[in-house]
Amino acid sequence: MLANTSQMLLRNVADLTGNILVVEPPADELARNLLPALPADATLCCYTTNAATAEQWQMPEVSRYFSALPEFTQQFDTVVIYYPKSKEQLSFSLAAIAPALNSSSQIYLVGDNKGGIKSLGSHAGKLGLQAHKLDNAKHCLWYCISGSLAEFTKPVFSQHQFTIAQTTLNICSIAGVFNHGKLDTGTALLLNHLQHITKGSVLDFGCGCGVIGAYLKKNHNEISLYCSDVSALAAAATEQTLQANKLQGTVITADGLPTHPASFDHIVSNPPFHTGIKTDYSISEAFISQSKTRLKTGGSLTLVANSHLAYQTLLEQTFGKVVVLAKANGFVIYHAIKR
């Protein structure tokens, strides 16, 4: 399967020459479709912070950078950036690739019309760049970017302090991490309803900047804390959050629940429910099903979700009984126990 944005890239494959870098593509089959379409003398490389995408690009014919802050060991003639959901992340990506460009490198951007790329002209202008629209098809746009990246500096993690229920935490984050620099309403509600978690092995799934895991560990040091996220940016942010609060925990980058340890006493999450810009219940279904399998008998799954999403039905289908711990500001806290 190919995302519309990847189909748009293939439609414009003639623009790609030399040493080619694709930045933050979706976890689809682009690499397998793109390789045969390139000139014989072209080389292909991917930079991604997403574990699922990294798996798709794990091919002997392709170079791959899978990390939060890449250290490129080569230069690129052509770069294609997938327009990010977070506009801040475009600056991040441009700064990350800047050292790997030469004076004649071409930069293209591709994005879904519903994902914000229609505003690229003004967005690029604010960054001191020019955006030139080259193609419009499949509900997507294909742009070329011109201008100097000399002023783009290497991305850095920022630190923010939050106080939640009398617990003060230093939270580290960076552009591209969920709710960068802020404590979102759903997570704040969730943190006020975790009194049942005081010990045992605890997984903060989809950990983002690590606020849930750090909050639990700071209040109950005897917890064995594990934090996981599909994003290398989030994993790096969580590691820094734990260090900033002098807390111990294991941070894992994984697509889905991490393989180790084998089981948990508690899983807690503000889970992702998007693939790109679309609500995707397959992510939620897999997460809930895997959670029951990996919980010890008597273990709990506690999560927060937007009230309009069908989480209660999904949870009841898997766990049977589900308790609603709270409802507020468009969010619901669900609690299920493995019997």
Please say whether the beta carbons of 311 and 304 come within 8 A: no
Residue-level pLDDT at 277: 47
Q: Are residues 279 and 324 in the same domain?
A: yes
The residue written with tokens 């994902």 in the block is 115
Q: Are residues 186 and 325 in the same domain?
A: yes
Q: Are residues 170 and 126 in the same domain?
A: no
pLDDT in tens, 154-200: 888 999 999 988 899 999 999 889 888 889 899 999 999 999 999 99
Residue-level pLDDT at 273: 65
Please tell me the total count of domains within the chain.
2
Q: Are residues 177 and 107 in the same domain?
A: no
Q: What is the pTM of this model?
A: 0.92
Burial class of residue 7 in the structure, from the number of CB atoms within 10 Å of its CB (0-12 exposed, 13-18 middle, 19+ buried): middle
- The answer to the question of residue 97 being in a domain is yes
Q: In 120-242, at which residue ranges do the beta strands (DSSP E only) sit?
A: 130-137, 140-146, 158-164, 167-173, 201-205, 224-229
- The answer to the question of residue 139 being in a domain is yes
Residue-level pLDDT at 182: 84
- The answer to the question of residue 153 being in a domain is no
Q: Are residues 92 and 60 in the same domain?
A: yes
pLDDT in tens, 263-302: 999 999 998 764 554 556 677 888 999 999 999 999 999 9
Residue-level pLDDT at 284: 82
- The answer to the question of residue 8 being in a domain is yes
- The answer to the question of residue 70 being in a domain is yes
pLDDT in tens, 74-105: 999 999 999 998 888 999 999 999 999 999 99
Q: Are residues 125 and 179 in the same domain?
A: no
Task: Give Cα separations from 294 to 73, 245, 260 (angstroms).
Answer: 40, 28, 10
- Among residues 251, 238, 66, 231, the alpha carbon closest in space to that of 169 is found at 238
Structural domain for 117, as ranges = 4-146
Q: Which CATH number do you get for residue 274?
A: 3.40.50.150
Q: Are residues 97 and 201 in the same domain?
A: no
- The answer to the question of residue 262 being in a domain is yes
